[in-house]
Amino acid sequence: MYLQKCYFLLFIVIFSFSPAFGVSRYSVDEQENIRIYERSSRAVVNISNIAVNYDFFYRAMPAESGSGTGFIIDKYGTIVTNYHVVENASQLVVTLADNSQWEGKLIGADPNNDLAIVRIQAPAGSYDILKFSHSNDIVVGQKVLALGNPFGLRQTLTTGIISALGRTIAAKNGRKIEGIIQTDAAINPGNSGGPLLDSEGRVIGINTAIIGSAGSVGIGFAVPSNTALRILPDLLKYGYVLRPWLGIEPIPTVYLRRIGVDVPDGLLIARVVKGASADHAGLRGATRTVKVGRYNVPWGGDIITHINGSAVTTMEDLAQQIETRKAGEKVTISYIRQERGHSVTVELVLRPRS
């Protein structure tokens, strides 16, 4: 009886680890990771940014100035990546999963959200396509997977969770990117522009930054997919994002209070651009400057406190209320002029392309 039990246990052990019996040696979670990687990796590309330097005799000397990641989103070879991956490139070389290389053409770029669109003329059968999911459905603690080419090591997969939502980071041009996803999935130099995937292999973010410069320390950031979905149509059609604006130069009043000025919460209008939305609506900029300690402070301008009922106290608040809308939309602006509250309806117009 004892020997029979031993043989039975040995059989169970062999059965459990033998592929011949149809039982995987991998856990359910590992199987999901493998499945997503195998299904998604052919859509992920390496992007080399080739710049042109000149030698002593002014002869052009191409040199790789950096590399990053991108992913293909349609049968036309359209690639989503970060703006900083393709910035100042004289030539872009895109390497597919099959190691074939193709010249990349920059179609559109949005430095404000660190996103760009590149296109290649590769046969549709040489790559796969990734689909977007809406990032407003994601939650903290959700499993995510990051694909990319960190440190030039191609086709790398890391996993983790969503650590936080709604973060704000600075784009390379200094503008704030709002609604950023924070993850502990390892994101290293070279991962920039790669997809952040959910457990179904859908894109919920575009990896864009890490804390520090040496490598991942468990804090990485990704532009949410909803931001990409909002601006991609403009990038594909125009090459840049059509953004409405008020046409003002605002100063958050929190800065004025820090130097001793008694002023309400909001944005003080320092200047109104002639012909812009704010000008048509009759909003006023500063009429003079006053000396406060060592500072010359614009004064006499309207102070915007709310847009469509939402408080605006920062530049990010203003961008969220204005730049996410379309030209022709109307917003109600509440403001203070000479210590009295007012409101006005403003029709938004497009910001001139600089």
- Which pTM does this prediction carry? 0.71
- CATH fold of 135-238 reads Thrombin, subunit H (2.40.10)
276 alpha-carbon distance from chain centroid: 28
pLDDT at 49 over 90: no
Instruction: Give the angle subtended at the CA of 339 by the CAs of 337 and 344, to the nearest 5°.
Output: 35
In this predicted model, what pLDDT tens digit does every residue of 125-181 receive, in sequence order? 999 999 999 888 889 999 999 998 865 667 888 899 999 988 888 776 666 777 889
Query: Which of 57-61, 255-259, 272-276, 285-289 is the least confident region?
Result: 57-61
- CATH fold of 244-350 reads Pdz3 Domain (2.30.42)
pLDDT at 7 over 70: no
67 catalytic residue (yes or no): no
Q: What is the pLDDT of residue 22?
A: 53
In this predicted model, what pLDDT tens digit does every residue of 198-239 receive, in sequence order? 999 999 999 987 665 555 566 889 999 988 998 899 999 999
Q: What is the pLDDT of residue 150?
A: 64
pLDDT, mean over the chain: 84
> Where, residue-wise, is CATH 2.40.10.10 in the chain?
45-126, 135-238
Pairing of strands 340-347, 330-337: antiparallel
> Where, residue-wise, is CATH 2.30.42.10 in the chain?
244-350
Query: Which residue in 40, 48, 192, 277 is the catalytic one?
Result: 192
Query: Which residue in 48, 67, 84, 163 is the catalytic one?
Result: 84
Mean of the pLDDT values across residues 49-61? 54
277 catalytic residue (yes or no): no
Query: Which residue in 48, 67, 114, 133 is the catalytic one?
Result: 114
Identify the sign of the CA torsion 162, 190, 210, 74: negative
Q: What is the pLDDT of residue 62?
A: 47
Q: Give me the helices (H) in 91-203, please.
A: none
* Per-residue DSSP letter, 22: T
CATH number for 45-126: choose from 2.40.50.140, 1.20.990.10, 2.60.40.1840, 2.40.10.10: 2.40.10.10
In this predicted model, what pLDDT tens digit does every residue of 65-113 receive, in sequence order? 568 899 999 999 999 999 989 988 888 999 999 999 999 999 999 988 8
Q: How far, CA to CA in Å, does 258 sit from each of 47, 242, 251, 295, 315?
A: 45, 35, 13, 12, 17
pLDDT at 61 over 50: no
Q: What is the pLDDT of residue 350?
A: 86
137 catalytic residue (yes or no): no
Q: In the beta sheet, which residues pair with residue 117?
A: 80, 108
pLDDT at 197 over 90: yes
